Amino acid sequence: MNHVNFYTHLNQFISISESDFEEILIYFDELNLRKKHILLEEGKVCDQYFFVLKGILRKYYINDKGTEQTIQFAIENWWMTEDFSLITSKSSEFYIQTVEKTDLLIISKDKMEKLCLRFPILNIYFKIIYQKAYAASQMRMKLSSEMTREQFFWHFNQQYPAFLQRIPQYMVASFLGFTPEYLSEIRKKGFS
């Protein structure tokens, strides 16, 4: 598997030598997964972090109406885990699933702790990554409350056009809090 993108990604935030990077990779397992593979099920404990080399992951839950509600996506060079379950060792209330054929680097919580002890600079990297994710989450909440539903979709479309082309419409609708039918109406208006 090609790890150049992971190496380049790390070096956008911190400085890692090639020899250190080769040692870092030893802590990870690699997985090549088919579309719609479930990595985490509701009710299971999450003890892994997932880094997307190629493909897309999504995190979702099933609401009281039996509908899937997507809360997060991860594309190339993004991380995903189920933080609450990982931190508390309690059962997850979420699922993590591949959206398309996906190649991942996976590291367990225990290996992650050992890795960060061996390479303390990675603590800085993960601090930056979590700060960026938290800031993005806050911005999403702000925009979704300030904008109309149409404005929110078109903003999302402008920010991530290629991303939207890769994800099924019902998942995009779920993520944005729409029905697929409403999203279809919005898209038709924009193309007319």
Distance CA 122, CA 128 (A): 10
Question: If one looks up domain 4-119 in CATH, what number appears?
Answer: 2.60.120.10
pLDDT the model gives residue 111:
98
Distance CA 73, CA 80 (A): 8
Confidence of residue 190 (pLDDT cuts 50, 70, 90): low
Q: What is the pLDDT of residues 56-97, one digit of tens each?
A: 999 999 999 998 999 999 999 999 999 999 999 999 999 999
Instruction: List the Cα angle 81/87/89 in 5-degree steps.
Output: 100
pLDDT the model gives residue 183:
82
Cβ contact 36:79 at 8 Å: no
Backbone φ/ψ region at 25: left (φ over 0), alpha (ψ -120 to 50), beta = alpha
Backbone φ/ψ region at 7: left (φ over 0), alpha (ψ -120 to 50), beta = alpha
Q: What is the pLDDT of residues 145-178, one digit of tens each?
A: 888 878 888 888 888 887 788 998 889 888 888 8
User: What residue ranges do the domains of the chain occupy?
Assistant: 4-119
What is the separation of C-alpha 108 from the centre of its chain, rounded to a whole number of angstroms?
16
What global pTM score does this model have? Answer: 0.90
Confidence of residue 185 (pLDDT cuts 50, 70, 90): confident
Cα distances (angstroms) measured from residue 88 to each of 50, 109, 138: 18, 12, 23
26-30, 93-97, 124-128, 158-162: least confident range? 158-162
